[in-house]
Structure 1
């Protein structure tokens, strides 16, 4: 028996993720794409495009090529998005690691994924350094390190004199990202997702009749981690493809979370059950103006209908699952 969706069939173009992504963000220029929740630093779509291209050209110029695996071991920061999109632009494969991993957990993923390059932050280096000798990682770039030898900032320098060489990508066969499972039934396992997988996911979400997609007027709080597939596909990819502004947040901190919703008049929140329960039950919520919220979704794990309704009453908008 063939099981079909009640929604109409959608056509998935046979193109790479970078082709799709850049076509989708092409209409947006001076509109704000990213805001760092801690510092208030803003990046518009023109700057986003420029920085992705700079990182891609720098990596390619250093000799990285199609099929090379790059690990990102970092919390949510603006630069995460530059790296993520740039790697696919040169045909590389991204494996994202939980920044809360211990050194041994990180070591396992680096070994299994065969990553040759790693992006991380200075405060995580103490967990990175001990495991490098047992992995294939040959180069480490550190975010927010100024002009030091291994600083990520060097990849962002003006390189208009360097040409980005075209890469032939088979969208259905070539791996784009390699996120790892949580390991609940054993060791974490790499999940091979192709360029077509990413394109199809974005189109399928937008085609669902019961899902309200973000648009250029929406402001999304990016509190869920970018290392997780939920943060990657629903917040980063879906949000930017629709011209929304992402408020980048490094982890859930109750007062900061509520304060950012109030400060930036956030309209859209893609969340997980523990945060939904916080919104439903915590007295702190009533001390902030979160009336700007128009769409809240809970994902990644189930939550009861009663909790959804309770959260909806607090945030004054429906909470979907």
Structure 2
């Protein structure tokens, strides 16, 4: 049996629970309609808890309808783009589904982004409006002039809280806020929610129309807009749920909503699978580790999707030996590879096995997960229903048999429509009548169909669950007149996953002692905190090939050698 025949035989399906449909087809509806159906079906149930305040599905549905109506009155509708610059919050959910209800596309942005990064994404997406927290208003207004933004919709973190909680929070100075500058583009989120609900007649083609435009880095390291249709995300919601449904009670679970909503992982798994299946979200706007560990118990969380960095931090906390989670059914890991030692330590401390999965933004994002009752150590699992995965030769694109290392390729209804304004640029191939997305990750598959991560083919750095692109940091470093050459690499770190190190060659007349602080300041100004190098290593030269291409692997070795000498 050759590699393609092996994949088409789908050997992994025998490890599905007997109740799982390996060929599930999601309904041909929009994401907004799916949410609407859930709100009607579970009307009086609590949909989410935010800042110790409960919100029913009925309340969310009303907020979404009013917000959508208000958006339509400022001419936002089908074909439009609305950026969302918010932490995890009720406001994010309302904005997300409100935008989708108008037929427009959401453009989620990391709240840690700088004004330059906000401007770049808003410009590339042609967003005409942005919903932001008042604390971010300075960055947004600074970006405004460089974009096509016409409307800045501003909310305070406490906008959805009852009056007495707001008053008490402000009195105790527990509710941060920022005074807004006078500007004609600024609109208040609360005022928009005062709009009377009107029926919006919008025809959405789920397979063609975009639901979310997610910006991620390509091989160049600069943002690429991943175009995800309604069908892409709805399909992934049903695929994920089909895989876990034997282990959960539909509409009876409580999800820890700590994954960032701006990330497609948070959108599909939390405000997608979690809410549209009638479950409750406990929303955490930021990570306060001790409070989070306690709240998992306090709110009787049963489903905990997270990232390896968080699991590692929890295991090392002093409360790890005290807190138990009897209600927790599933702990799911994604966004980065799960080190075996982290999984083992978490299970030892909390008595819960972590179920590892795999995916990427271009696949909405989930493609693989371990069956919860048949996990394999070191494996990120098997393809989820209605998904094929293979290992291909990076050069010839030949499908490889089990045991051989090659590039991971995936095919399924969750795979993106493409990149915004660009051809796919060799990211997909056609074989056996299907389109296969090439992930850029190297891996292997065993005889039973379980997949294993080997190495990142791209130079992407995974830092604390964030995806960081070296070229973007290098571009900033080259803005310094003191820098001759720069190469940014990730090195293994037990806490962060990978630590960001910048190897720098200074110009002959520059002194290391004088330039270090200047480079750190430059990065602080131009880059979000999670993208900033944690260390600068100054070298006389950087290794390159004969044609001048940087040898990143050798740079990484040099950095590690210098670290070892420093520690000796």
TM-score by length of 1: 0.92
Structure 2: stretches of 5+ with no match in the other structure: 14-20, 160-179, 181-185, 357-568
Aligned match for 2:25, one of 8, 11, 14: 11
Partner of 2:325, secondary structure, is: coil
Kept in 2: contact 1:24–1:242 (CA 8 A): yes
Q: Which residue of 1 aligns with 2:135?
A: 123
Q: What is the aligned residue count?
A: 316
Q: Which residue of 1 aligns with 2:86?
A: 74
Q: Which residue of 2 aligns with 1:83?
A: 95
Q: Over alpha carbons, which structure has the higher Rg?
A: 2
Matched, 1:242 2:316: no
After TM superposition, list the pairs within 5 Å mapping 1:171-320 onto structure 2. Answer: 171-182=206-217, 185-208=220-243, 212=247, 215-320=250-355
Shift of 1:266: 1.4
CA distance in 1, matches of 2:348, 2:309: 17
After TM superposition, list the pairs within 5 Å mapping 1:114-193 onto structure 2. Answer: 114-144=126-156, 150-160=187-197, 163-182=198-217, 185-193=220-228
- Which moves more between the two structures, 274-283 or 232-241? 274-283
- Which moves more between the two structures, 224-233 or 200-209? 200-209
CA distance in 2, matches of 1:213, 1:186: 39
Matched, 1:26 2:63: no
Q: Which residue of 1 aligns with 2:112?
A: 100
Q: Which residue of 1 aligns with 2:171?
A: none
Kept in 2: contact 1:115–1:137 (CA 8 A): yes
CA distance in 2, matches of 1:158, 1:104: 33
Partner of 2:52, secondary structure, is: coil
Kept in 1: contact 2:289–2:314 (CA 8 A): no
Shift of 1:185: 4.7
Report which of the two has the higher share of strand: 2
CA distance in 2, matches of 1:9, 1:291: 33
Partner of 2:199, secondary structure, is: coil
Shift of 1:40: 0.8
Structure 1: stretches of 5+ with no match in the other structure: none
Q: Which residue of 2 aligns with 1:113?
A: 125
Q: Which residue of 2 aligns with 1:40?
A: 52
Shift of 1:17: 1.5
- Which moves more between the two structures, 304-313 or 86-95? 304-313
Partner of 2:223, secondary structure, is: coil
1:187-237 C-alpha deviation (Å, 9 max, x unpaired): 121110001101111111122269845632211111111000111101111
- Which moves more between the two structures, 296-305 or 207-216? 207-216
TM-score by length of 2: 0.53
Bigger RCO (CA 8 Å, 6+ sep): 1
Report which of the two has the higher share of helix: 1
Partner of 2:297, secondary structure, is: helix
Q: 1:281 to 1:182 in 2, by over 3 A?
A: farther
- Which moves more between the two structures, 255-264 or 92-101? 255-264
